[in-house]
Amino acid sequence: MLEILLPELFLSSSLILLLTFAVIYAKVNGKYSQQYKITILSIIVLLITLILNFNNFNIIFYDEIFYSNSLIVFFKVLILLSSIVVLFWSFDFYKKDNLTDFEFPLLILFACLGMLFLVSSHNLLMFYLSIELFSLSLYVLATFQRDKYSNTEAGLKYFLLGALSSGILLLGCTLLYLYTGEITFYGIHNFIYFSYSDQFPTLLGGLFLIIGILFKLAAAPFHNWAPDVYEGTSTIITGFFSIVPKLATFSVLITLLYYVFNNLDFYFILVISIISSFIIGSIGGLYQTKIKRLFAYSAIGHVGFILLGLISGYNLLNLQSSLIYLVIYIIMNFITFSILLYFYDNNITGNFIVELSGLSRFNPIIAITFVLNLLSLAGIPPLAGFFSKFLIFMSALQNEFYILSLIAIVGSVISCFYYLRVIKWIYMKHNLTYTYKNLADITIKRNNINLVNSLILGISLFIIISFILYPNPIFIISFDVLSNFII
């Protein structure tokens, strides 16, 4: 057990040391010096934690508190890599927004620790405490810039709705324990499997757990927090919210659906969520004029595709299609937010779509990168986004989910319109006020994209495009990861 928990133990002890160092030496020898040092140390800690996790691949372990298999380790690796990318993004964030608080990288580490515990949790108590650990970190991150009204408003909305979802999760855990007398996932699974009594209380408890997880995923109709929080928080924090928590909650949703409750029928709530996500994600994005709100509705629609793959029959092939879709979606998000951060670094707020006017003139490379990513998000062939949606459709059709597949296709077609609207402002339509302003601001520093962003953009775009020619690696990795999917 010590070997399995070594990454989490290392991260926990490192967090205590970093927090002690930060409190004692905060803002010494310069305004930003300690903040940068703490961020660099945080990146090193996450890299070491990542290396420690690689040793746990192909190890199957479980007890009353934790469990581990290759799929769990894979999600941990994705969480750690994504958190490292966010910390690299943060260097410009500090100076641009004149931030001197050292807590930002530590909050990222606390959230990351909670997510690592969550994906490994094997009982209701650890499950709930892990969710609360990373949720509390996210609430603070949402209000990190306290001098901005939009951040305070977004954080308050997120906290209130998050507290409601936490209450729903706790109610579900309580009902399951009261009826089954079990706290471990293994015990609850056996009770459901071997019990011949009425399963309604268990079904109700499980329903509350699923609803709480759907809220964390921002799946409709539990999505109300997402557009406001995406818009109100800083771009770097929005990027973190849109990538890392989804990995952890998707992992625990797999555990609940494929193992704990695999004998119970939750199709009703999942189908409602999938249909709502497609409708709200596609139609809601049509009328958005702000970039981050548009991508919030885009995220809701993509969550619908991930859930469609999950319920298309509980087998590893369908799970593989959802896993591939999630990985490709995360990579596309890296491109999206790297470009949005590029706008912000160059004095373009990036709040409104119209601000992209003239992008093809003052930086054609960024423009074509953004366009390729938008087309991939829309599912235009032959980009990676098309193949990931194709896999989901094939899984759904093989299991005779014809109506859901039709709704997904219609929703995907509708969503193409708002992606194309962004492309229209980049290439075909110009607001002269913004075009001349952007040209004046950026011409002098035309290639001002930092090394980290350029590397993230280059690697992510390479994966998206290379998938066209050589998709085998992601299929092989996902198959190997799922080969010993046992809890």
**Percentage with pLDDT > 70 across the chain:** 89
Q: Which residue has the higher pLDDT, 327 or 445?
A: 327
pLDDT of res. 445:
47
What the block records as the tokens of 124 is 């209701």
How do residues 402-428 score in pLDDT, each as one tens digit?
899 899 999 999 988 889 888 888 887
pLDDT of res. 444:
42
Dist CA 356 CA 359 (whole Å): 6
Indicate the pLDDT class of residue 19, thresholds 50, 70 and 90: confident
Its pTM stands at 0.92
- State the Cα angle at 198 between 164 and 123, rounded to 5°: 50
How do residues 241-260 score in pLDDT, each as one tens digit?
989 999 999 999 988 888 88
- Which residues, 6 or more positions from 463, have their beta carbon under 8 angstroms from its beta carbon? 331, 384
Dist CA 347 CA 58 (whole Å): 47
- Which residues, 6 or more positions from 109, have their beta carbon under 8 angstroms from its beta carbon? 11, 14, 15, 18, 42, 45, 46, 83
Alpha helical stretches, state H, 97-196: 103-120, 124-142, 149-180, 185-194
Residue among 359, 143, 126, 368 nearest 252 (CA): 126
3-state secondary structure of 143: coil
Per-residue pLDDT, averaged over 148-176, amounts to: 86
Distances 437 to 181, 351, 360, 362, 449 between C-alpha atoms, Å = 65, 15, 14, 11, 18
pLDDT of res. 28:
60
pLDDT of res. 129:
92
Give the mean pLDDT of the chain.
83
